[in-house]
């Protein structure tokens, strides 16, 4: 008996209104709308910053970049009228030269705007030094902690508590880290010195050359700020590094151990190289957070104005870490919150913000390129 003929294809297609398809379309539209809204807000923000900051950073003639804004020190801006009635805008160094040539009688209706003249070389240098030092310290201690938690620890209640503490540490506000850095690194860290400070918490004689181990802190300096920032990003580095180590197949460890390698040799040769791209990913996230923090460095390292650059006048390279530095986030905060707003301060604000965004993008891009180059060479 021949089989029954198949029904026409048209009869298999459902027609008419369907609540299920409508709900699916609405859900997709809500998700797409939220995504494009976030993109539009980000584009609007970047457009506003670029529109206001580009005239400060770029110019019409070659080399099309205002190099002076990038390589000059921050100065006070003097705005005044000259004898011909022309409005002049000069940083402090050029203003003093003008007064020396023309005398004070050639200056009319003078107004001064702090930190709004010259350039931002000092804040750029301080931001790079703070960010770079903090990333090095965080990766050093964070990767070591991740290796222990992933490869050497055997679980248990203590290890679970440690992981919980790391996760909770990631949610601590940055202002708390700033106060912690001020109390620990600025006021209480031990220093070897021959003359303990009056504010020293404890001075222990070392019986060598009259030296003492004085718990008087490092004062406000680059090292104090970098250590504070490193503590702030440690949870990100530890968590991302541990996940990267756990993602490496177990067979690579077992193969190395079967060939006679010690556990550390197996980790160093067979695990770490393949986990390195994920560890570098954590450094990218850390850079984007550390570079923009203001509260931690406000208490531990940053200064609004400084006459010389961090590396000028040093007797040895280690003195670089013992001095205060300028930083772009703190420079922007000073211009926006501590200086009366005007067209002259706004130019400095948006120019600094644009340079800051470009600097962070450059550092993050460098980390991603390095990560991708390493990842392309490693396969399992």
Which ranges of the chain would DSSP assign to H, the alpha helix? 19-57, 67-71, 92-102, 121-147, 157-169, 174-181, 222-247, 250-258, 263-266, 272-290, 295-300, 328-333, 343-377
* Cα dihedral sign, 90-96-101-104: positive
How do residues 87-104 score in pLDDT, each as one tens digit?
Answer: 888 888 888 888 888 888
Q: Strands across the sheet with 108-118, in order?
A: 87-91, 74-81, 108-118
Give the CA distances from residue 61 to residues 67, 90, 121, 235, in Å, rounded to whole numbers and listed in that order.
12, 21, 22, 47
Tell me what pLDDT residue 222 has: 92
pLDDT bracket for residue 4 (50, 70, 90): low
Which residues lie below 8 Å from residue 222, measured CB to CB, with a gap of 6+? 126, 129, 130, 133, 301, 310, 320, 321, 322, 323, 324, 325
pLDDT tens-digit series, residues 192-226: 888 888 888 888 888 887 888 888 888 889 999 99
pLDDT tens for 57-73 read: 888 777 788 888 888 88
Q: What are the residues facing 192 on neighbouring strands?
A: 213
Rounded CA separation 142/83 (Å): 62
| Other Cβ atoms within 10 Å of 365 Cβ, number | 11
Looking at the DSSP bridge assignments, the partners of residue 124 are none
């Amino acid at each position: 008996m021949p089989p029954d003929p198949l029904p026409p294809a048209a009869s298999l297609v459902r027609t008419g209104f369907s609540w299920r398809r409508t709900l699916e379309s609405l859900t997709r539209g809500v998700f797409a709308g939220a995504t494009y809204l976030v993109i539009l807000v980000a584009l609007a923000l970047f457009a506003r910053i670029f529109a206001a900051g580009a005239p400060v950073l770029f110019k019409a003639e070659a080399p099309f970049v205002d190099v002076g804004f990038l390589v000059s020190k921050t100065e006070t801006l003097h705005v005044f009228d000259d004898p011909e009635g022309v409005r002049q805008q000069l940083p402090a160094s050029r203003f003093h030269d003008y007064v020396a040539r023309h005398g004070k009688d050639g200056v009319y209706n003078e107004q001064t705007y702090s930190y709004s003249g010259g350039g931002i070389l000092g804040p750029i240098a301080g931001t790079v030094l703070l960010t770079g030092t903090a990333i090095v310290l965080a990766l050093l201690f964070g990767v070591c902690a991740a290796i222990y938690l992933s490869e050497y620890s055997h679980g248990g209640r203590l290890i679970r508590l440690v992981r919980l503490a790391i996760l909770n540490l990631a949610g601590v506000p940055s202002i708390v880290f700033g106060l912690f850095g001020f109390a620990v690194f600025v006021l209480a860290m031990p220093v070897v010195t021959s003359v303990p400070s009056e504010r020293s918490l404890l001075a222990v004689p070392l019986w060598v050359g009259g030296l003492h181990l004085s718990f008087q802190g490092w004062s406000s300096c680059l090292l104090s700020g970098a250590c504070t920032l490193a503590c702030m990003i440690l949870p990100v580095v530890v968590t991302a590094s541990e996940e990267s180590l756990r993602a490496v197949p177990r067979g690579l460890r077992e193969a190395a151990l079967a060939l006679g390698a010690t556990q550390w040799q197996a980790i160093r040769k067979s695990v770490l190289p393949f986990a390195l791209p994920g560890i570098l990913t954590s450094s990218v996230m850390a850079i984007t957070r550390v570079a923009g923090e203001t509260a931690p460095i406000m208490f531990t390292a940053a200064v609004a104005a400084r006459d010389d650059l961090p590396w000028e006048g040093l007797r040895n390279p280690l003195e670089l870490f013992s001095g205060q530095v300028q930083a772009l986030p703190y420079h922007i905060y000073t211009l926006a919150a501590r200086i009366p707003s005007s067209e002259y301060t706004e130019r400095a604000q948006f120019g600094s913000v644009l340079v800051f965004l470009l600097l962070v993008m450059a550092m993050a891009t460098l980390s991603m390129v390095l990560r991708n180059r390493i990842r392309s060479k490693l396969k399992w």
